[in-house]
Structure 1
Amino acid sequence: MLGATKTAAARRADFRALLDSGEVVQFPGAINPLNAMLIEQTGFEGVYISGGAFSAAQGLPDIGLTTLTEVVDHGRSIARVTNLPTFIDADTGWGEAMNVARTVQEFEDAGLSGIHLEDQVNPKRCGHLDGKEVVTTAEMVKRISAAAKGRRDENFILCARTDSRAGEGLDAAIDRARAYVAAGADMIFPEAMRDLGEFETFANAVDAPILANMTEFGKSELFTTKQLADAGVRVVIYPVTTLRLAMGAITDGLQAIRSEGTQASVVDRMQTRADLYETVDYEAYNSFDSAVFNFSQEGHQ
């Protein structure tokens, strides 16, 4: 009731322990707090918060138009309701080195468990589109170093994403990743790998956990968790999956209402009122309210 029972520090320690375990873990994307609650209740290890999904929910393309304040507020609302580690997309850090350090501290204060920073130039592009440009390795090393200096909780995870595979090749992307780890990155996010072999090559070449982005309609095939684990991947994110599921269902429902004049034909595909109340623990709020307002006004003016 009223949100997470674990402190932010405890959730960060959990994230660090997950990375240290050597086991593969799944972080589905949450588009809102209710979605995060469902992720936890389904039994996943963590919650991912996608910049692309957030941009889309605002009716904007994923090109860096959302601000630090907007994304921090969005992350805070999700981190507040779940006991799972929350891992958020911090784009390019919203500025130069000092801005990146502030970005880390803002997300720490909002209760997040980690961020990923990318090496794209501004304005950025979605990681699975063509035409991406990356900054120099030296510039990205500055971003990671600044993030590490800004971090106050050693368990707050700093992940470096590299979008260099498409333009510079796999070997260059690995060289970048090694430099990012040396600068303080706890995990590496190699974007848009072409096959399992590339994931495996990356995992074997870099002394840090590797993240796989299993986004639909992208450059990577939708590999199973077992396939990715066998290739050495340790964290798997599904950034826009829940948004796409929801929007597909919403579109179908709206079309049914428009053409049939009623939602009756799609009611069986909806979350029921009972399921919703169970998800948000409605009964606990009722019990709490009854315990507080247990007095009588008789005899009082």
Structure 2
Amino acid sequence: MSPRYDEAPELIPQNFPEVHQPSAAPEVANTYGQHTSATPVKPEESAGYTGFAPVEHPPPSSFTYDYQTGYGPTLPSEHGRARQRILGCSVLVFILSIIIALLSTAVIGLAAGTGVEASRANDAEARLAALSASPTTVTVTAPGPTSSDFSAIDKGCSTNSAGVTGTDYESQFYNNPSFKIYCNSDAPNNPLSSLFVGNFDDCIDACASYSFYIPSHFPSNSTSGNATCAGVSFIPAWTNRTFAFDGGAPGNCYLKPGPQNQTALNNPNIGGSAVHAAILDTQS
């Protein structure tokens, strides 16, 4: 069977681009009035020539144009992110404003404090000048002790001598000797010993202690008059050692030997200070 014309393979239809032939180069006038044709540019010498008309594509949004380097990637600070601002100001300007405000406050406070201190200094100088212009002499007299100051240490003789005179005091130690109190009186005879005590009771107990220990420690003197304390003289003002030192007194309690009796008591005469006596009660 003879082949038919329509049994041959069919060609796939192709849409080939048309080749663009560049137009003839324009003539260029030379300096002598003659026309010379410009050297044509070969299609293969033009960069990127493919035979198609060039299509310009806009640069992507992530690129920016620079006049020296052309298009380049957009930096993060220039694309997609705005600069941080505080109260309409940049962060740097805001921080500088705070620093300036703090420094201004410190300067104002320092100036105010300096002014106050200067004012005080001027006032002090003015007062000193006034005192220098009219000096005054101030005499301070230390008040001496009064009788009421000693009522707690003299068994009440300073405030109630009549009520206390003639009363008895019995020592709690040294075989419990008893003494009779006489306010505003001084026991006679030279003292056996002097000492500082806290109150009238301690002075009487010291007398009882003397009579207890001396005979036992000095048996040979047990029969002498100096072995027994028969009375005391107590000066309450000299309990304060400052007053005692000023009066040259070595104590405020003086132990006296016998004999002692009421009729032998002296009126005190020790610079106006009160003296109270206690004598051993031989009848007890």
TM normalised by structure 1 equals: 0.21
Higher helix share: 1
Q: Which one has more relative contact order, counting CA pairs under 8 Å at least 6 apart?
A: 1
The higher radius of gyration belongs to: 2
